[in-house]
Amino acid sequence: MTNEATQEKITASSFMNNILAGTATGIIVGLLPNAVLSGILKLFGPNPIAVQLTRVLLTFQFTTPLLIGALIALAFNFTKVDIAIVAGAAYVGSGVTQFNPKILNPVTKAAGMFVSNGTGDLINTMLTAAIAVGLTLLVGDKFGSVKIVAGPILIGGGASWIGLIILPYVAKITVWIGDVINSFTKLQPVLMSILIACMFAVILITPISTVAIGMAIQLNGLSAGAAAMGVAATTIVLVVHSWKVNKSGMTLAIALGAMKMMIPNLFRHPIILLPILTTTIISAIPVAIFGVSGTPASAGFGLVGMVGPLASLDAGKASLNIVVALIVWFVIPIALALISRFIYQNMLHIYDEKVVFAYLGE
Q: Is the pTM of this model over 0.85?
A: no
Domain span at 143: 3-174
Evaluate whether residue 183 is within a structural domain. no
Evaluate whether residue 179 is within a structural domain. no
Evaluate whether residue 218 is within a structural domain. yes
SS3 of 101, please? strand
Same domain, 166 and 313: no
pLDDT given for residue 210 in this prediction: 82
Same domain, 110 and 216: no
Same domain, 214 and 90: no
* Cα three-residue angle 224-250-39, rounded to 5 degrees: 35
Is a pLDDT exceeding 90 seen at residue 78? yes
Reported as type and span, the H/E element at residue 303 is: none
Same domain, 336 and 193: yes
Is a pLDDT exceeding 80 seen at residue 148? yes
Where does the pLDDT of residue 228 fall: very low under 50, low under 70, confident under 90, or very high at 90 and above? very high
Residue type, 345: Q
Residue type, 37: L
Same domain, 295 and 148: no
Same domain, 206 and 156: no
Same domain, 129 and 51: yes
Phi and psi at 168, nearest 5°, equal -60, -35
Q: Which of 283, 253, 285, 259 is nearest to 272 (CA)?
A: 259
Where does the pLDDT of residue 315 fall: very low under 50, low under 70, confident under 90, or very high at 90 and above? low
- 156-184 residue pLDDT tens: 999 999 999 999 998 888 777 777 777 77
Same domain, 130 and 216: no
Q: Mark which of 141, 174, 207 sits at the end of a domain.
A: 174
Where does the pLDDT of residue 1 fall: very low under 50, low under 70, confident under 90, or very high at 90 and above? very low
Same domain, 148 and 207: no
pLDDT given for residue 3 in this prediction: 55
Average pLDDT over residues 295-300: 84
Residue type, 3: N
SS3 of 187, please? helix
Q: Which of 358, 195, 191, 216 is nearest to 296 (CA)?
A: 216
Q: Which residues, in sequence order, are CB contacts of 349 under 8 Å at separation 6+? A: none
pLDDT given for residue 318 in this prediction: 55
Q: Where are the beta strands (DSSP E) in the chain?
A: 97-104, 111-116
- 260-280 residue pLDDT tens: 878 888 888 999 999 999 999
Q: Which residues pair with 99 in a beta bridge?
A: 114
Evaluate whether residue 180 is within a structural domain. no
Pick the more confident residue, 58 or 207: 58
- 33-49 residue pLDDT tens: 887 777 678 778 889 99
Q: Mark which of 174, 203, 225 sits at the end of a domain.
A: 174
Same domain, 322 and 277: yes
Lowest mean pLDDT among 2-6, 166-170, 203-207, 356-360: 2-6
Phi and psi at 125, nearest 5°, equal -60, -45
Instruction: Give percent of the chain with pLDDT exceeding 70.
Output: 95
| Diameter of the chain measured on Cα atoms | 75
SS3 of 19, please? helix
Is a pLDDT exceeding 90 seen at residue 100? no
- Cα 80 to chain centroid distance, Å, stands at 26
Evaluate whether residue 181 is within a structural domain. no
Q: Mark which of 127, 143, 174 sits at the end of a domain.
A: 174
Same domain, 161 and 219: no
- 114-133 residue pLDDT tens: 888 777 888 899 899 999 99
SS3 of 292, please? coil
Evaluate whether residue 43 is within a structural domain. yes
Please give the Cα distance from 68 to 24 (Å, whole number): 8
State the total domains in the chain: 2
Please give the Cα distance from 131 to 25 (Å, whole number): 19
Evaluate whether residue 182 is within a structural domain. no
Evaluate whether residue 239 is within a structural domain. yes
Same domain, 162 and 266: no
